[in-house]
């Protein structure tokens, strides 16, 4: 929507500019033959100011094009982007050197240690982290997000200060996308798994929406297929989702796949909801395995697209009805984000730093989320229940 508006404005300006030019040419050519009349002077003055105004506008649009562009773009992209900033993905050498639970020594160097051929160590981590009903909580992290005082610290802190979330932390598996993230995970958390990806030049930085970046995103979907196939249910959560209440009290029971939303249209079964790939809950069964495989395969049908955008396109596909997958969309009142914050802190389960450009902005506003929550939990009960306490964010994020 914003993008469309921005485009229209630009076009409108161009038209004004053209007509201004024409006017100017006409009056200056005729002016050679006689003195200006006061009406002409007025006209010329007006045209002059119009042109200054127009060039000012054009300059404004030129100087600030990105907010329009990114804002409309971002809701679909930011949620699922641990790799958005400063992607520094794994280098094979570094990973192989680690004596990690996931590095299997009998794999020849340079070969992909993908979920598919490393099921044993994956199984070990899954088993170690799982709840009684074989459910795990999975997040992915890269180096930039595991820096001290960065996203990962807020993520961990949210479990500590949340309501009935402390016991969930032992079920969290961190999927490290590079060596640095992996070693940082090991220092602060129990269940760490190094996911290695083959065929990508990870020496440099994988910039948002480049081929490497997309490959990483899709590797994640591929990885989750393995989790389902091994027989584990999972809650997938981006690390910029703050866990403030136990979400299992709010999940639908007996649903194959439920997913948070950028925008929720007040009907959990309506496919027109805008799903957010950064938070979902999938039960391991034949339907979800087929669904995730279909999702993954659909990347070839929509080349250059992000997993969330592809999900948005395939959600209406008859194949999903055919396999009988039951999908539900989660209410932003419980599972909110910066795109659409939950309004009542008495209800909120999770808060996602979606709709946010820039790691610094994200960190800034997540800190405010943590502060808001601390303020809320320390306020007296009568205040909690008599006045509606809400967020002071987003501030720097959109």
Ligand X SMILES: *[C@@H]1O[C@H](CO)[C@@H](O)[C@H](O)[C@H]1NC(C)=O
Alpha-carbon torsion (342, 344, 350, 352), positive or negative: positive
Min CB(263)–ligand X separation in Å: 15
Q: Which of 188, 379, 385, 395 binds ligand X (CB under 6 A)?
A: 379
Q: What are the CA-CA distances from residue 358 to residues 69, 91, 175, 229, 350 (Å)?
A: 14, 25, 22, 35, 21
Number of H helices, E strands in the chain: 14, 10
Distance CA 52, CA 3 (A): 25
> Are 341 and 327 contacting, i.e. CB atoms less than 8 angstroms apart?
no
Beta carbon nearer to ligand X, 28 or 286: 286
Residue 167 in the binding site for ligand X (CB under 6 A): no
Beta carbon nearer to ligand X, 172 or 348: 348
| Binding map of ligand X across residues 118-157, x = CB under 6 A, - = no contact | ----------------------------------------
Q: Which of 41, 188, 392, 395 binds ligand X (CB under 6 A)?
A: 392
Residue 270 in the binding site for ligand X (CB under 6 A): yes
Residue 22 in the binding site for ligand X (CB under 6 A): no
Number of residues that bind ligand X (CB under 6 A): 11
Select the span of 45-53, 141-149, 191-199, 372-380 touching ligand X (CB under 6 A).
372-380
Residue 267 in the binding site for ligand X (CB under 6 A): yes
Min CB(292)–ligand X separation in Å: 13
Distance CA 11, CA 61 (A): 11
Distance CA 53, CA 12 (A): 13
Q: What are the CA-CA distances from residue 178 to residues 81, 82, 92, 114 (Å)?
A: 15, 12, 9, 14
Select the span of 16-24, 93-101, 144-152, 265-273 touching ligand X (CB under 6 A).
265-273
Distance CA 354, CA 76 (A): 9
Binding site for ligand X (CB under 6 A): 163, 267, 269-270, 286, 371-372, 375, 377, 379, 392
């Amino acid at each position: 929507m914003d993008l469309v508006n921005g485009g229209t404005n630009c076009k409108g300006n161009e038209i004004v500019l053209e007509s201004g030019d024409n006017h100017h040419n006409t009056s200056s050519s005729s002016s050679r033959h006689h003195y200006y009349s006061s009406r002409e002077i007025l006209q010329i003055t007006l045209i002059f100011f119009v042109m200054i105004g127009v060039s000012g506008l054009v300059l404004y649009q030129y100087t600030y094009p990105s907010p329009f562009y990114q804002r409309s773009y971002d809701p679909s992209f930011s949620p699922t982007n641990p790799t958005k900033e400063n992607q520094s993905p794994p280098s094979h050498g570094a990973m192989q050197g680690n004596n990690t639970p996931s590095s299997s020594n009998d794999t020849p160097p340079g070969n992909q240690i993908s979920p598919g051929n490393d099921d044993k160590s994956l199984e070990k981590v899954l088993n170690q982290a799982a709840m009684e009903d074989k459910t795990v909580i999975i997040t992915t992290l890269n180096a930039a997000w595991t820096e001290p005082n960065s996203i990962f610290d807020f993520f961990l802190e949210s479990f500590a200060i949340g309501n009935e979330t402390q016991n969930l932390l032992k079920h969290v598996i961190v999927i490290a996308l590079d060596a640095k993230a992996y070693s940082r995970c090991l220092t602060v958390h129990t269940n760490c798994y190094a996911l290695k990806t083959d065929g990508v030049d990870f020496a440099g930085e994988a910039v948002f929406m480049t081929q490497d970046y997309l490959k990483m995103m899709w590797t994640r979907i591929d990885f989750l297929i393995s989790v389902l196939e091994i027989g584990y249910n999972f809650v997938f959560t981006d690390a910029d989702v703050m866990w403030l209440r136990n979400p299992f009290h709010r999940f639908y029971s007996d649903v194959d796949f439920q997913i948070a939303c950028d925008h929720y249209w007040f009907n959990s079964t309506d496919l027109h909801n805008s799903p957010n790939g950064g938070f979902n809950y999938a039960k391991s069964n034949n339907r979800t395995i087929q669904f995730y495989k279909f999702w993954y395969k659909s990347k070839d049908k929509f080349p250059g697209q992000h997993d969330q955008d592809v999900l948005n396109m395939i959600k209406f596909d008859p194949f999903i009805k055919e396999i009988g997958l039951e999908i539900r969309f989660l209410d932003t009142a419980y599972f909110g984000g910066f795109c659409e914050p939950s309004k009542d802190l008495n209800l909120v389960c999770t808060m996602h730093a979606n709709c946010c450009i820039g790691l610094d902005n994200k960190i800034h506003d997540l800190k405010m989320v943590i502060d808001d929550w601390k303020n809320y939990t320390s306020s007296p009960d009568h205040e909690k229940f008599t006045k509606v306490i809400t967020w002071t964010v987003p501030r720097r994020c959109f």
